[in-house]
Amino acid sequence: MTQPITSPFAIALFVLAMSLGGVARAQDAKAGDAGAGEKKVAMCIGCHNIPGYQASFPEVYKVPKIAGQNAAYIATALAEYKKGERKHPTMRAIATSLSEQDMADVAAYYNRLGKKESNAEKAAAVAPPPEVAKLLAQANCASCHGANFSAPIAEAYPTLAGQHADYLYVALKAYQTDHNERVGRNNAIMMGMARPFTHAELKLLAGYLSSLPSDLYTVSQSRFR
């Protein structure tokens, strides 16, 4: 298991290096075909296209909104499930069945699907309360996830604004988890960020991020099939 990075200077250098690496990976990734992806999402729609749908295994939480999410991030996440760097039995089984091109196509489709929903006027972002502002500064979240957490500095990073709070909490908590066959995520940047926080602090962060105006959507299956 990779040891978390704790020095602020080391974190800053590592974030810069990984950011440049993320840009390179996004540029080298296979180009996705949204039209082809529409024919490959049969295993996705039963969870990700039902508004409010909750996973019950291995933990209970709303499945993430992925319509409108960065395509490179979706493809990267699927690849991490396939390699076991993200632990989730159902997602690993699905990702294992997909080729690199399939992942790129599915990612392109969901990215385009969100753009079809993006015409609604968005509310202005609300400034975080002081205790949350302190946590955000400590975690330095904006350095990767961008202004209002909806403009990541690289396409391989996710938009966080407006994502379900319970999903964000579970995801953050996963970076603190070791030696569990069903739960856990292995990413040095996120492990270094998440591990200093208590679960209560992670919930505060997740709640605020969820409250922000979003480009993420859950598009009901009946809207497009």
Per-residue pLDDT reduced to its tens digit, 157-189: 999 999 999 999 999 999 999 999 999 999 999
Whether cis (ω within 30° of 0) applies to the bond prior to 130 is no
Q: Are 50 and 218 in contact (CB under 8 A)?
A: yes
What pLDDT score does 123 carry? 79
Q: Is residue 75 part of a domain?
A: yes
Q: Are 71 and 107 in contact (CB under 8 A)?
A: yes
Q: Is residue 195 part of a domain?
A: yes
Q: Are 32 and 73 in contact (CB under 8 A)?
A: no
What pLDDT score does 223 carry? 63
The whole domain housing 123 covers 8-223
What pLDDT score does 116 carry? 77
Q: What domain count does the chain have?
A: 1
- Residue 2: band (very low, low, confident or very high) from pLDDT cuts 50, 70, 90: very low
Q: Is residue 3 part of a domain?
A: no
pTM of the predicted structure, to 2 decimals: 0.86
Q: Give percent of the chain with pLDDT exceeding 90.
A: 79
In tens, the pLDDT along 70-125 reads 999 999 999 999 999 999 999 999 999 999 999 999 999 999 999 877 766 677 88
The alpha carbon dihedral of 195, 197, 200, 204 has a sign of negative
Q: Is residue 88 part of a domain?
A: yes
Q: Is residue 209 part of a domain?
A: yes
CATH number for the domain including 149? Answer: 1.10.760.10
Q: Are 218 and 67 in contact (CB under 8 A)?
A: yes
The residue among 19 and 196 whose pLDDT is bigger is 196
